[in-house]
Structure formats: structure tokens, C-alpha cells
Chains A and B, each alone.
Chain A
Amino acid sequence: MPAPTLLARDVTKSFPDRDGAGSTPVLRGVSLAVHPGELVSIVGPSGSGKSTLLHCLSGLEAPTSGSVEIVGTPLTGISAAALAKLRREHVGFVFQSYNLISSLTAWDNVALPARLARRRVRAEEVDRALAHVGLGDRAHHKPAALSGGQQQRVAIARALAVERDVVFADEPTGALDTAAGAQVLALLREAASGRRAVVMVTHDLEAAATADRVLVLRDGTIHAELVAAGAAQVLDAVTRAAAQV
């Protein structure tokens, strides 16, 4: 088996209480490994720590303890510049909303990582990525002129324009209608191939069931792990997790 793209060991995360007197644990020792070509979805009841886990795995937030490695690079103690470089070269993001820089066209948003990496922007790569998500004809529109689904697809094009090792998607279909959500899911499913893995947090159990593996989170820990599960199995696992909270 190839080395994991993403490796988390005993990750915990606590947030300080408002009064500063104590802290509330959100993640309680999560360990997982995601391999190249895998699509892993993370589901769980509200407040189970799904988004916090994704943020810790992707380096958007620092865990309180434990370690995370992306393509063998530990995120613990990494400098801001090194983290930025890691993101540019290996990581893509698709968020639920606010995915795009409002002043840039769809084309420029897709080309942004290359610019940030001070690489020559290859127009054909950007064009291909946009065409791949079905937005070749919307390349020069700004985000405000795109629908929510189109904005998500631009974000996916940005994540796929450069060969990245892992794409993190936080509720990528959360703000979309069924048809747009299905398009986005199909693109993410397709993206998880070769050396690229996709980790997706979702509350949509149908969406979760498209993954190779489903991690059911409960109260900050992995409660169940399902492989090639159908939506009914995922629903059952989440229901049981919710009942035990």
C-alpha cells in the first residue's frame, strides 16, 4: 500500500470558553490515514467536530495536541511560509461559501495558486480545468455573476488546475440545489484518482455515501468507519451516533 497522503495521529482540539476559565474539547484523539486516490467523507451529528477535524487536517487550524502530516510533511510547528508553500503545491480547498475572490474573474480565481507560486500561468491548463467543470463559457465572469453551484465548480476547477495531493471540501453541497449538488459531487468523485485524495465533510448522507470510506464522528471521536457503504448504512450509523451523544 502506498504511503498515506494524509496522516493524523491522536488529534485533539479544544476551544477556550468565553469566560476564559476553561476550555471545551471538540476533538478527542482522532487518528486516521487517507491514501492516494481515495475519497473519504466525514459525517456526524451537529457539533460532533466534523468541520473542526477538517480544519485541523488541512492546516487551517492548529490542533491542541497530536500530529497531522500531509504528503509526509508534519504540520506541527511548521512556519507560516512553509505552510503556505505546502498549500500551494499539495492542497486544494472547496468551501461551502465564500470560495472565490470577488474581484477576480473565474479564470483568474483558477489561476491564482499558480500566480501565488510565481509559476507562469498556463492558459491552456486553466481553460481545461474550467471546461472540465463545464464552465468554459463563464471564464470571464466574476463570482457575483455566477450561481452558487457554478461558484463551487470554479473552486473545484481551482483545486484541480494543478495536480494536488489532497483536496479538502467543507460541506461542498451545503448551499446547492439537488442538481448542482450532484454535479459537484460527481466532480469530487472524479477528482479522487491517481495520487490525489479528497476529504469531504458533509451532512448530506447521500453525498457521503459516494465516498470510498465514510468516517462517522461522534463527540469528537471516530465512532464508526464504513467502507463502500450505501446511504442507508450511513444513515443508520449516524442515527446510532446521534442517539448516543
Chain B
Amino acid sequence: MVTGTERGPGARAPRGLLQRLVVGELLADARTWVGAGVVAGAAAVVGAVAACLLQSAVQVGGTLGVALYPVVGVVVVFTVVATLVVLSSVAALTISSQQRSHALWQLIGMGPRQVRAVVLAQLLLVALTGALGGTLLAAPLVVPFCRWVLATSDGLQQVPLVFGPLPAAVVVVVVTALVTAGGRRSARAASRTSGLLLVREADPPPARVRRRRWAGLALLLAVLVPLVLSAGGTPLEQVLVPLTLVGPLLTALVVAAGPLVFAPFLRAWTSLVPADASASWFLARAAAAHGTARASATTSPLVVAVAFPGALYAVTDTVRAAVGAQTGRLPPAPPVQTAVLLIGGPLLLAAVGAAATVFMSGRVRERESALVRAAGGTHGVVLLAAGWESVIHAVTATALGLVAVVGSAGVAAWAVAPAGAAPAPPSFGAGAVAVTAGGGLLLLLAATVPTTLLALRREVAPALSAE
């Protein structure tokens, strides 16, 4: 520790000391960092699939390679959008949840640059470990998995699939870089943490839409609008590929607007249930609204989880219906492998990300459940509040994800309608939305309820004692 040395802010601490701090604090707050590591691992698994397809397409070349490129392109777009959304949210949450440590480091003499360096070093280490673990786990499975998903694709069954060391290394580097980049802004914020947080409730400020996010929103619109307009003039047999990209882009737009939209929307719909309905609902609503206003790390992955499959099925079914109306024969529904290939990775990542963020907030949950118990709340109230909170997050994310689903369906209906005719009737991928929303809720409950039960087994006093 730096205590005992007389250093002003910005002074250099011995290198060995900082290294010990990086590792020591990682171990001391393992619960939070494990969540980030697991998400990095899941991102590596998902990235390995995209890398395997890309390497195979490059290696096989010729007609087969050309046939594989559109598939690879869509998989990469889906994966990149999901990865950016989930990793940046989780990385930011990981750092912001350790504000008290950052305040303490500053009080004992570490300068802002040193705090930032330690935080980024921690993130880098965890991301690298997670990415390496995920890639090693995926290495023996990725080729058989890709073979299974391509088994139903005409002409692609013969593609010799490979996943070599170079793409594996690229996956590790890219995932590590994305996690670290996702945490850069939070690391900068950590370096400016006020020492007052040590004597006051540490609570991140409400999220705001900053300049960079406005720029991102503008960029997304700049890509989305021409894509939608061009889809309108695309022949029916080719329209599916551009329409498939509308869903992820709309999802990214919804997620990018998260700080503006998520918390007000959550407060609005939950206000339909009276606050006096039950103490558990009251506590859950307050906790969900408070948390969502500060970080979208739980909501964003769930929005992705709901919107991606919903939009994919909405677009596919709408185009199929249009083809059926034009030819008199409804084309068969795409096999399940296609859906797994396109959205399996993002779904996995989103699910792991959402569950990890809930798991990571366990310490706060433990302390606040102890407070509720000290104020006379029963175990039932605490447990029910955790359950309601999961329901609130799941319903909020489903409703927001539906914006992308309905938007995609609407665009598809407009794009497939013959020139001058009214839009075709859209399909909304209701089944896929229901399955992923239900799955998301179960996952949140699985992440919340056991940790709450564990917290309830602890005595109140230790949970409330100062750290």
C-alpha cells in the first residue's frame, strides 16, 4: 500500500506496488471481475465461430468462398453489434461498481493517471484471461458446430471448415481490445473519483447521452436510412440480406438511445402498478429504476436478446409470405440451424452479459437486503423484491426490443410490397420474442434468486458493517 509514503497526487508509485495493487484488488473483488471475465470468454466463443467461418471462406476461395461471404458478413455484423453493446456495458459497470476503491487509492496518494492505469491494467488482465479461456474452450468445438449449422445450407456443406491458431489469436486480441476500449471512459471517470465517496453512499451518477453517443446515433441513422430506402427497390429474391441487417441496426439505435429512453420508459410502465401494491414491488421498482438510470448493462443485453431473433423471424416470415403471395407457394421456413448460426452467438453473449451484471451487483444487493431486514422486512419480502426486479428488467427489455422487431417487420412489409401497392401484412416473430423474453427472465431469476438466498443466510450485522 502507499500509506506511509509522502506522495502528492500524480507522484509515481513504485512499479512493484502498482502490480501488487492490480492483482490484489482483482482478487479482493473477484465477484465483480469474474462477471467481466465470463462475458469476455463468451465473446471469444462467439467470435471464434465468426472467425472460423471467415477463415474457411478465405481458405476455400472460388465459388464456395463467395457463397459463404454473405453468411459470414451477416454473422459478423450480428456478432459485432452484440459484442459492442454487451462488452462496453459490462466493462463500464465493472469499473463503476468499484468507486470506493478508486476513492481510497486517491486518498492514499495515487494520482489520477495511476488510478486509470491500474483500472485499465485490471480490465486488460481480466479480458485477456477471459478471452483466452473462451477461445481455448471454443477451439475443439467450433468446427463441428459450424459443420452442423451449415449442414442445411445448399452448397455450403462441402466447405472445408478450419479454425487455426492465427484466427484464434486474432479473436483473443480483438475481444481483449474491445473490453479494454469499452472500459476506457469509465477508467477515466475512475481517475476523477471524489474521495468523499469513502464517507458517503457510493453511487454512480445517472447516465447521460454524451457527444460521442449522439455521434453514434447519427452514424447509425446514416447507415440505417439508406439501407431501408435501398431495400425498397431490391428484387424480392435478394431483399432478405439487407432486411436482415435492419434489425441489428435498429437494436443498436435503441441501445444507443438507452440513457434517454430506458429509465423513463421503465418508470412509466411500472407506475401502472400502484406503489402500495406491495412492499416488495415498491422496493423492486425503485431498485430497477435507480439501476437503469445509472447503467444500461442489464437492459441492453436483454434488448439484444429479444430484438435479434424477433427481428430475424419477423423479416424472414414477412418475406416468405410475400414470396408465397407472388408465386402461390409458401417457401419453407429456414431451418433452425440458420437461426442458431445468425443469432446464437449474440444470444449467448447477451444472456451471459445480462446474468453477469445481475450477479456482479450482488454485494449491493446483499447490503440493501440486510437494510430491509433491519427495517423489519421478512425474507419473503427480500426474495420477492429480487424476483420482481428481474420481471421488471425482462418486461422493459422485451418492450424496448419489440421496437426493433416491429420496426423491422414494418420495413420488411414496405420493402416487399409491389410498387404502388399497399404494404404487405407484416409478421412479428412473436414466437421468437416470447421464447427469448421468457428465457431472459429465467436467466435473470437464476442469477438473482440464488444470490439473494445466499445473502439471506448471512446475518444482518456483517453485511452492514463498513468495508
Contacts and interface: CB of A to CB of B under 8 A. Distances in A.
B25 interface: no
Closest A-B pairs by Cβ, 3 of them: A88-B376, A103-B290, A144-B203
Interface residues of A, number: 43
Contacts of A87: 373-376
Contacts of B373: 84, 87
Given A102-B290, A115-B282, 9 more contacts: A51-B465, A60-B459, A60-B464, A98-B466, A100-B371, A103-B368, A113-B375, A148-B199, A151-B201
A151 B378 CA distance: 24
Nearest to A55: B461
B371 A101 contact: yes
Given A61-B459, A103-B287, A103-B291, A98 B377 contact: no
Interface stretch (A89-97, A125-133, A192-200): A89-97
Given A100-B371, A158-B375, A147 B464 contact: no
A112 B375 contact: yes
Contacts of A116: 279, 372, 375-378, 381
A23 B440 CA distance: 45
Contacts of B225: none
- Greatest chain B CB density within 10 A among A61, A62, A112, A117 is at A112
15 contacts: A60-B374, A62-B459, A100-B371, A101-B286, A101-B371, A103-B286, A104-B283, A112-B372, A113-B376, A116-B378, A117-B376, A143-B201, A144-B203, A146-B200, A147-B200
Interface in B371-398: 371-381
B325 interface: no
A80 interface: yes
Interface residues of B, number: 34
Given A60-B459, A60-B461, A98 B201 contact: yes
B289 interface: yes
A81 interface: yes
B367 interface: yes
Nearest to A92: B375
Contact of B368 (A89, A101, A117, A120): A101
A138 interface: no
- Greatest chain A CB density within 10 A among B374, B459, B464, B466 is at B374
Interface string A100-124: 1111100010001101111011000
Contacts of B200: 143-144, 146-148, 151
B27 interface: no
Contacts of A120: 276
A190 to B, nearest CB: 21
A131 B28 CA distance: 41
A102 B378 contact: no
A102 B201 contact: yes
Contacts of A147: 200
Interface of B: 199-203, 276, 279, 282-283, 286-287, 289-291, 364, 367-368, 371-381, 459-461, 464-466
Contact of B376 (A84, A98, A103): A84
Given A55-B461, A103-B290, A96 B466 contact: yes
A148 B200 CA distance: 6
A93 B203 contact: no
Nearest to B364: A102
A87 B291 CA distance: 28
B290 A118 contact: no
A127 B437 CA distance: 41
Interface string A62-94: 100000000000000000110011111101010
A185 B427 CA distance: 66
Contacts of A113: 375-376
A240 interface: no
Contacts of A144: 200-203
- Greatest chain A CB density within 10 A among B289, B364, B371 is at B371
A76 B187 CA distance: 49
A118 B371 CA distance: 17
Contacts of A85: 376
A60 B460 contact: yes
Contacts of B376: 84-89, 91, 113, 116-117
Interface in A143-181: 143-144, 146-148, 151, 158, 175
A101 B374 contact: no
Contacts of A103: 283, 286-287, 289-291, 368
B287 to A, nearest CB: 5
A115 B201 contact: no
